[in-house]
Protein backbone atom coordinates (compact mmCIF):
# COMPACT_ATOMS: atom_id res chain seq x y z
CA UNK A 1 0.00 0.00 0.00
CA UNK A 2 1.25 3.49 -0.85
CA UNK A 3 0.22 6.99 0.16
CA UNK A 4 -0.92 8.75 -3.02
CA UNK A 5 -2.29 12.02 -1.71
CA UNK A 6 -2.21 14.13 1.45
CA UNK A 7 -5.05 16.65 1.76
CA UNK A 8 -5.18 19.30 4.47
CA UNK A 9 -8.30 21.03 5.81
CA UNK A 10 -8.72 23.80 8.34
CA UNK A 11 -11.74 24.15 10.60
CA UNK A 12 -12.62 26.62 13.35
CA UNK A 13 -13.83 25.08 16.59
CA UNK A 14 -15.54 27.74 18.77
CA UNK A 15 -15.55 26.95 22.52
CA UNK A 16 -19.03 26.15 23.88
CA UNK A 17 -18.54 28.47 26.85
CA UNK A 18 -17.46 31.55 24.84
CA UNK A 19 -13.99 32.29 26.24
CA UNK A 20 -11.67 29.56 27.52
CA UNK A 21 -9.22 31.25 29.91
CA UNK A 22 -6.26 29.85 31.75
CA UNK A 23 -3.14 31.13 33.50
CA UNK A 24 -2.33 34.84 33.65
CA UNK A 25 -5.03 35.96 31.22
CA UNK A 26 -4.24 33.60 28.34
CA UNK A 27 -7.44 32.74 26.49
CA UNK A 28 -8.90 31.24 23.34
CA UNK A 29 -12.41 31.68 21.92
CA UNK A 30 -11.97 29.67 18.71
CA UNK A 31 -9.53 26.79 18.31
CA UNK A 32 -7.98 26.46 14.84
CA UNK A 33 -7.89 22.76 13.96
CA UNK A 34 -5.94 21.10 11.14
CA UNK A 35 -7.36 17.93 9.60
CA UNK A 36 -5.36 15.61 7.39
CA UNK A 37 -6.68 13.04 4.92
CA UNK A 38 -4.32 10.39 3.57
CA UNK A 39 -5.39 8.56 0.41
CA UNK A 40 -3.78 5.34 -0.74
CA UNK A 41 -3.44 3.36 -3.94
CA UNK A 42 -5.65 0.63 -2.41
CA UNK A 43 -8.61 2.93 -1.88
CA UNK A 44 -8.27 3.15 1.91
CA UNK A 45 -8.42 6.61 3.48
CA UNK A 46 -7.05 7.69 6.86
CA UNK A 47 -7.90 10.78 8.92
CA UNK A 48 -5.79 12.72 11.40
CA UNK A 49 -6.16 15.98 13.33
CA UNK A 50 -4.05 18.33 15.42
CA UNK A 51 -5.37 21.35 17.31
CA UNK A 52 -2.96 23.40 19.42
CA UNK A 53 -4.64 25.60 22.03
CA UNK A 54 -3.75 28.90 20.36
CA UNK A 55 -0.05 29.71 20.06
CA UNK A 56 0.71 30.48 23.71
CA UNK A 57 -0.03 27.17 25.43
CA UNK A 58 2.65 24.80 24.10
CA UNK A 59 5.40 25.52 21.55
CA UNK A 60 2.94 24.75 18.75
CA UNK A 61 0.55 26.76 16.58
CA UNK A 62 -1.99 25.91 13.92
CA UNK A 63 -0.37 27.61 10.93
CA UNK A 64 2.91 25.94 11.92
CA UNK A 65 1.22 22.54 11.75
CA UNK A 66 0.00 23.22 8.22
CA UNK A 67 3.34 24.61 7.06
CA UNK A 68 5.17 21.63 8.57
CA UNK A 69 2.85 19.13 6.90
CA UNK A 70 3.76 20.77 3.60
CA UNK A 71 7.45 20.23 4.41
CA UNK A 72 6.95 16.55 5.30
CA UNK A 73 4.41 15.60 2.63
CA UNK A 74 6.87 15.06 -0.27
CA UNK A 75 8.81 12.62 1.94
CA UNK A 76 5.67 10.59 2.74
CA UNK A 77 4.01 10.31 -0.68
CA UNK A 78 4.74 6.84 -2.07
CA UNK A 79 5.46 5.32 1.37
CA UNK A 80 3.49 2.50 3.00
CA UNK A 81 1.17 4.02 5.68
CA UNK A 82 0.90 0.66 7.46
CA UNK A 83 4.65 0.69 8.24
CA UNK A 84 4.12 3.30 10.93
CA UNK A 85 7.47 2.89 12.70
CA UNK A 86 9.35 3.41 9.45
CA UNK A 87 7.15 6.36 8.58
CA UNK A 88 7.87 8.00 11.96
CA UNK A 89 11.57 7.46 11.38
CA UNK A 90 11.32 9.31 8.07
CA UNK A 91 9.41 12.19 9.69
CA UNK A 92 12.00 12.46 12.50
CA UNK A 93 14.87 12.33 10.01
CA UNK A 94 13.39 15.01 7.77
CA UNK A 95 12.23 17.34 10.56
CA UNK A 96 13.83 17.71 13.97
CA UNK A 97 11.28 18.27 16.73
CA UNK A 98 7.88 19.81 15.91
CA UNK A 99 6.08 16.75 17.27
CA UNK A 100 2.67 18.36 16.80
CA UNK A 101 3.24 18.62 13.03
CA UNK A 102 3.76 14.85 12.83
CA UNK A 103 0.82 13.92 15.04
CA UNK A 104 -2.05 14.13 12.49
CA UNK A 105 0.01 12.24 9.91
CA UNK A 106 0.76 9.46 12.40
CA UNK A 107 -2.89 9.28 13.53
CA UNK A 108 -4.07 8.99 9.91
CA UNK A 109 -1.68 6.05 9.40
CA UNK A 110 -3.17 4.24 12.43
CA UNK A 111 -6.63 4.83 10.96
CA UNK A 112 -5.50 3.21 7.69
CA UNK A 113 -3.76 0.33 9.48
CA UNK A 114 -6.94 -0.41 11.43
CA UNK A 115 -9.10 -0.28 8.31
CA UNK A 116 -6.64 -2.56 6.47
CA UNK A 117 -6.66 -5.05 9.35
CA UNK A 118 -10.40 -4.77 9.99
CA UNK A 119 -9.64 -3.86 13.61
CA UNK A 120 -10.29 -0.83 15.83
CA UNK A 121 -7.18 1.19 16.67
CA UNK A 122 -7.46 0.23 20.34
CA UNK A 123 -6.90 -3.41 19.33
CA UNK A 124 -3.67 -2.38 17.61
CA UNK A 125 -2.53 -0.35 20.64
CA UNK A 126 -2.66 -3.32 22.98
CA UNK A 127 -6.31 -4.28 23.08
CA UNK A 128 -9.29 -3.01 24.99
CA UNK A 129 -8.87 -2.77 28.75
CA UNK A 130 -11.61 -0.21 29.47
CA UNK A 131 -15.19 0.15 28.31
CA UNK A 132 -16.36 3.38 29.96
CA UNK A 133 -13.48 5.71 30.83
CA UNK A 134 -13.80 8.43 33.47
CA UNK A 135 -13.40 11.93 32.08
CA UNK A 136 -12.36 15.20 33.61
CA UNK A 137 -14.01 18.46 32.63
CA UNK A 138 -11.94 21.64 32.43
CA UNK A 139 -13.37 24.77 34.05
CA UNK A 140 -11.90 27.99 32.59
CA UNK A 141 -10.53 30.63 34.91
CA UNK A 142 -13.17 32.96 36.35
CA UNK A 143 -14.28 34.21 39.76
CA UNK A 144 -14.33 31.57 42.52
CA UNK A 145 -18.13 31.74 42.60
CA UNK A 146 -18.49 31.29 38.83
CA UNK A 147 -16.01 28.39 38.78
CA UNK A 148 -17.80 26.68 41.66
CA UNK A 149 -21.14 27.06 39.87
CA UNK A 150 -19.69 25.72 36.60
CA UNK A 151 -18.15 22.77 38.46
CA UNK A 152 -21.45 21.94 40.11
CA UNK A 153 -23.10 22.05 36.69
CA UNK A 154 -20.57 19.60 35.25
CA UNK A 155 -20.94 17.42 38.34
CA UNK A 156 -24.70 17.33 37.68
CA UNK A 157 -23.98 16.25 34.08
CA UNK A 158 -22.08 13.25 35.45
CA UNK A 159 -18.44 14.37 35.46
CA UNK A 160 -16.66 13.15 38.59
CA UNK A 161 -13.35 14.84 37.87
CA UNK A 162 -12.98 18.60 37.53
CA UNK A 163 -9.88 20.43 36.34
CA UNK A 164 -9.93 24.09 37.28
CA UNK A 165 -7.74 26.62 35.53
CA UNK A 166 -5.69 28.61 38.02
CA UNK A 167 -2.13 30.00 37.59
CA UNK A 168 -3.30 33.57 38.27
CA UNK A 169 -3.14 35.73 41.39
CA UNK A 170 -2.21 33.36 44.27
CA UNK A 171 -4.81 34.67 46.74
CA UNK A 172 -7.54 34.48 44.09
CA UNK A 173 -6.40 31.00 43.09
CA UNK A 174 -6.56 29.74 46.66
CA UNK A 175 -10.15 31.01 46.80
CA UNK A 176 -10.92 29.35 43.43
CA UNK A 177 -9.62 25.98 44.62
CA UNK A 178 -11.48 26.20 47.93
CA UNK A 179 -14.75 27.20 46.27
CA UNK A 180 -14.60 24.34 43.74
CA UNK A 181 -13.47 21.62 46.16
CA UNK A 182 -16.22 22.57 48.60
CA UNK A 183 -18.84 22.81 45.83
CA UNK A 184 -18.25 19.42 44.20
CA UNK A 185 -17.76 17.39 47.38
CA UNK A 186 -15.32 14.70 48.44
CA UNK A 187 -16.32 12.08 45.84
CA UNK A 188 -15.13 14.32 43.01
CA UNK A 189 -11.47 14.40 41.94
CA UNK A 190 -10.26 18.00 41.57
CA UNK A 191 -7.15 19.02 39.64
CA UNK A 192 -5.88 22.61 39.99
CA UNK A 193 -3.92 23.33 36.82
CA UNK A 194 -1.45 26.21 37.14
CA UNK A 195 -0.55 25.87 33.43
CA UNK A 196 2.95 27.32 34.13
CA UNK A 197 1.41 30.57 35.39
CA UNK A 198 3.00 30.84 38.83
CA UNK A 199 6.47 31.62 40.10
CA UNK A 200 7.61 29.07 42.64
CA UNK A 201 6.85 31.40 45.60
CA UNK A 202 3.34 31.97 44.24
CA UNK A 203 2.77 28.25 43.79
CA UNK A 204 3.83 27.62 47.38
CA UNK A 205 1.54 30.37 48.64
CA UNK A 206 -1.39 28.66 46.92
CA UNK A 207 -0.36 25.18 48.07
CA UNK A 208 0.09 26.36 51.68
CA UNK A 209 -3.21 28.25 51.75
CA UNK A 210 -5.08 25.11 50.62
CA UNK A 211 -3.24 22.50 52.70
CA UNK A 212 -6.47 21.32 54.27
CA UNK A 213 -8.08 20.50 50.90
CA UNK A 214 -7.84 17.31 48.88
CA UNK A 215 -6.90 18.05 45.27
CA UNK A 216 -4.13 17.44 42.71
CA UNK A 217 -1.71 20.27 41.89
CA UNK A 218 -0.79 20.43 38.19
CA UNK A 219 2.13 22.11 36.37
CA UNK A 220 2.50 25.16 38.64
CA UNK A 221 5.55 26.76 36.98
CA UNK A 222 7.07 27.07 33.54
CA UNK A 223 10.44 25.42 34.13
CA UNK A 224 10.91 21.82 35.16
CA UNK A 225 13.34 22.94 37.89
CA UNK A 226 10.75 25.25 39.45
CA UNK A 227 8.06 22.55 39.27
CA UNK A 228 10.43 20.11 40.97
CA UNK A 229 11.17 22.64 43.70
CA UNK A 230 7.46 23.18 44.37
CA UNK A 231 6.78 19.45 44.20
CA UNK A 232 9.35 18.81 46.93
CA UNK A 233 7.79 21.36 49.28
CA UNK A 234 4.05 21.06 48.58
CA UNK A 235 1.99 18.29 50.15
CA UNK A 236 -0.54 17.89 47.32
CA UNK A 237 -0.36 15.02 44.79
CA UNK A 238 1.49 16.45 41.80
CA UNK A 239 0.87 16.24 38.06
CA UNK A 240 3.24 17.31 35.28
CA UNK A 241 1.93 18.27 31.83
CA UNK A 242 3.80 20.99 29.90
CA UNK A 243 7.13 19.74 31.33
CA UNK A 244 6.54 16.25 29.89
CA UNK A 245 6.88 16.29 26.14
CA UNK A 246 9.48 13.67 25.25
CA UNK A 247 10.44 10.25 26.54
CA UNK A 248 13.56 11.89 27.95
CA UNK A 249 11.37 14.28 29.96
CA UNK A 250 9.38 11.38 31.35
CA UNK A 251 12.47 9.38 32.27
CA UNK A 252 13.99 12.38 34.06
CA UNK A 253 10.76 13.04 35.95
CA UNK A 254 10.62 9.41 37.01
CA UNK A 255 14.23 9.47 38.18
CA UNK A 256 13.67 12.71 40.13
CA UNK A 257 10.33 11.53 41.58
CA UNK A 258 9.01 14.76 40.05
CA UNK A 259 5.34 13.79 39.75
CA UNK A 260 2.62 11.40 40.88
CA UNK A 261 0.61 11.72 37.67
CA UNK A 262 1.72 12.25 34.07
CA UNK A 263 -0.19 13.95 31.26
CA UNK A 264 -0.12 11.99 28.01
CA UNK A 265 -1.25 14.21 25.14
CA UNK A 266 -1.35 12.69 21.66
CA UNK A 267 -0.47 15.93 19.87
CA UNK A 268 2.36 17.06 22.13
CA UNK A 269 4.17 13.72 21.84
CA UNK A 270 3.83 13.50 18.03
CA UNK A 271 0.92 11.11 17.50
CA UNK A 272 -0.33 7.76 18.71
CA UNK A 273 2.96 5.94 18.10
CA UNK A 274 4.92 8.03 20.58
CA UNK A 275 2.02 8.63 22.95
CA UNK A 276 1.66 4.85 23.20
CA UNK A 277 5.36 4.52 23.98
CA UNK A 278 5.10 7.05 26.82
CA UNK A 279 1.83 5.44 27.95
CA UNK A 280 3.55 2.06 28.16
CA UNK A 281 6.53 3.50 30.08
CA UNK A 282 4.14 5.11 32.58
CA UNK A 283 2.20 1.86 32.91
CA UNK A 284 5.36 -0.19 33.44
CA UNK A 285 6.37 2.23 36.20
CA UNK A 286 2.87 2.19 37.77
CA UNK A 287 2.68 5.94 37.16
CA UNK A 288 -0.96 7.05 36.77
CA UNK A 289 -1.77 9.21 33.77
CA UNK A 290 -4.36 11.30 32.05
CA UNK A 291 -4.84 10.43 28.36
CA UNK A 292 -5.82 13.67 26.67
CA UNK A 293 -4.80 16.32 24.14
CA UNK A 294 -4.40 20.06 23.86
CA UNK A 295 -7.69 20.52 21.97
CA UNK A 296 -9.48 19.04 19.00
CA UNK A 297 -12.68 17.75 17.48
CA UNK A 298 -13.99 14.29 16.69
CA UNK A 299 -10.76 12.87 15.23
CA UNK A 300 -8.50 13.94 18.11
CA UNK A 301 -11.10 12.67 20.59
CA UNK A 302 -11.29 9.32 18.80
CA UNK A 303 -7.50 8.99 18.78
CA UNK A 304 -7.14 9.66 22.51
CA UNK A 305 -10.15 7.46 23.26
CA UNK A 306 -8.54 4.48 21.50
CA UNK A 307 -5.34 5.08 23.46
CA UNK A 308 -7.25 5.40 26.73
CA UNK A 309 -9.34 2.29 26.00
CA UNK A 310 -6.14 0.24 25.66
CA UNK A 311 -4.50 1.67 28.81
CA UNK A 312 -4.37 -0.48 31.97
CA UNK A 313 -7.26 0.72 34.16
CA UNK A 314 -5.17 0.87 37.33
CA UNK A 315 -3.01 3.65 35.84
CA UNK A 316 -5.67 5.55 33.87
CA UNK A 317 -6.75 8.48 36.05
CA UNK A 318 -8.97 9.99 33.39
CA UNK A 319 -9.44 10.96 29.76
CA UNK A 320 -11.38 13.74 28.07
CA UNK A 321 -14.20 14.44 25.61
CA UNK A 322 -12.61 17.35 23.76
CA UNK A 323 -15.24 17.25 21.01
CA UNK A 324 -17.81 18.26 23.65
CA UNK A 325 -15.95 21.56 24.12
CA UNK A 326 -16.82 22.78 20.62
CA UNK A 327 -19.98 24.23 19.08
CA UNK A 328 -18.95 22.77 15.69
CA UNK A 329 -18.98 19.01 14.99
CA UNK A 330 -17.54 17.79 11.72
CA UNK A 331 -17.54 13.99 11.82
CA UNK A 332 -19.82 11.02 12.46
CA UNK A 333 -18.90 8.08 14.67
CA UNK A 334 -17.23 10.06 17.47
CA UNK A 335 -16.73 8.47 20.91
CA UNK A 336 -19.88 8.57 23.02
CA UNK A 337 -20.22 10.58 26.22
CA UNK A 338 -22.48 9.34 28.98
CA UNK A 339 -22.59 9.93 32.72
CA UNK A 340 -19.07 11.39 32.89
CA UNK A 341 -17.53 8.56 30.88
CA UNK A 342 -16.18 8.21 27.35
CA UNK A 343 -16.72 5.08 25.27
CA UNK A 344 -15.24 4.16 21.91
CA UNK A 345 -16.58 1.52 19.54
CA UNK A 346 -15.09 -1.39 17.63
CA UNK A 347 -15.38 -0.11 14.05
CA UNK A 348 -12.16 -0.59 12.03
CA UNK A 349 -9.62 2.22 12.33
CA UNK A 350 -10.57 5.28 14.36
CA UNK A 351 -14.25 4.80 13.54
CA UNK A 352 -14.84 8.47 12.68
CA UNK A 353 -15.91 9.76 9.28
CA UNK A 354 -15.67 13.49 8.57
CA UNK A 355 -18.57 15.08 6.68
CA UNK A 356 -17.19 16.67 3.51
CA UNK A 357 -19.63 19.62 3.48
CA UNK A 358 -18.57 20.59 6.99
CA UNK A 359 -14.84 20.44 6.26
CA UNK A 360 -15.15 22.78 3.29
CA UNK A 361 -12.56 22.96 0.53
CA UNK A 362 -9.00 21.81 1.34
CA UNK A 363 -6.35 24.42 2.13
CA UNK A 364 -3.57 22.29 0.63
CA UNK A 365 -3.09 19.00 -1.22
CA UNK A 366 0.10 17.11 -2.01
CA UNK A 367 0.52 14.18 -4.40
MG1 LIG B 1 -2.62 20.55 32.02
Span from the CA of 53 to the centroid of ligand 1 (angstroms): 11
Span from the CA of 227 to the centroid of ligand 1 (angstroms): 13
Residues 103 and 50 sit within 8 Å (Cβ to Cβ): yes
The pLDDT of residue 162 is 98
Tens-digit pLDDT profile for residues 144-160: 999 999 999 999 999 99
Task: pLDDT band for 202, please (50, 70, 90 cuts).
Answer: very high
Residues 103 and 48 sit within 8 Å (Cβ to Cβ): yes
Span from the CA of 120 to the centroid of ligand 1 (angstroms): 28
Q: Sign of the CA dihedral 150, 217, 60, 112?
A: negative
The pLDDT of residue 3 is 98
Other C-beta atoms within 10 Å of 218: how many? 27
Q: What is the average pLDDT across 25-29?
A: 95
Tens-digit pLDDT profile for residues 337-360: 999 999 999 999 999 999 989 999
The pLDDT of residue 209 is 98
Tens-digit pLDDT profile for residues 204-225: 999 999 999 999 999 999 999 9
The pLDDT of residue 50 is 98
* Whole-number Å distance between alpha carbons of 105 and 271: 8
The pLDDT of residue 226 is 98
Strands 20-21 and 27-28: antiparallel
Span from the CA of 256 to the centroid of ligand 1 (angstroms): 20
Task: pLDDT band for 126, please (50, 70, 90 cuts).
Answer: very high
From 102, 265, 268, 274, active-site residue: 265
The pLDDT of residue 175 is 98
Residues 134 and 319 sit within 8 Å (Cβ to Cβ): yes
From 102, 115, 165, 239, active-site residue: 165
For residue 11, how many C-alpha atoms fall within 13 Å in the half-sphere facing its CB?
Answer: 29
Task: pLDDT band for 296, please (50, 70, 90 cuts).
Answer: very high
Exposed e or buried b per residue across 227-260, where buried means at least 16 C-beta atoms within 10 angstroms of its C-beta: bbbbbeebebbbbbbbbbbeeebbeebeeeebbb
Span from the CA of 264 to the centroid of ligand 1 (angstroms): 10
| DSSP structural state of residue 295 | S
The pLDDT of residue 301 is 98
Span from the CA of 192 to the centroid of ligand 1 (angstroms): 9
Span from the CA of 290 to the centroid of ligand 1 (angstroms): 9
Span from the CA of 194 to the centroid of ligand 1 (angstroms): 8
The pLDDT of residue 265 is 98
Distances (CA, A) of 211 to 142, 207, 235, 362: 22, 6, 7, 52
* Whole-number Å distance between alpha carbons of 238 and 243: 12
Span from the CA of 39 to the centroid of ligand 1 (angstroms): 34
* Whole-number Å distance between alpha carbons of 122 and 309: 6
* Whole-number Å distance between alpha carbons of 1 and 183: 55
Catalytic annotation on 286? Answer: no
Q: Note if the pTM is more than 0.85.
A: yes
Catalytic annotation on 265? Answer: yes
Distances (CA, A) of 178 to 41, 153, 211: 57, 17, 10
The pLDDT of residue 17 is 95
The pLDDT of residue 33 is 98
Amino acid sequence: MRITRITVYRIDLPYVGGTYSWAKGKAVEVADSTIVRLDTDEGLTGWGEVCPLGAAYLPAYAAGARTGIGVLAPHLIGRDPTCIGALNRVMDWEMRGHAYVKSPLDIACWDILGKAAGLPVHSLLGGRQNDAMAMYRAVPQDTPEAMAAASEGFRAEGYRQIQLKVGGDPADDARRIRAVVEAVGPECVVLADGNTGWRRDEALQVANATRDLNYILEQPCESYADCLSVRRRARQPFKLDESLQSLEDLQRARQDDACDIASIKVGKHGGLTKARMLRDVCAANKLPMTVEDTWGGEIVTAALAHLAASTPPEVLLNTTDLHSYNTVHFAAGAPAVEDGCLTVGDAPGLGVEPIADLLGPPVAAYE
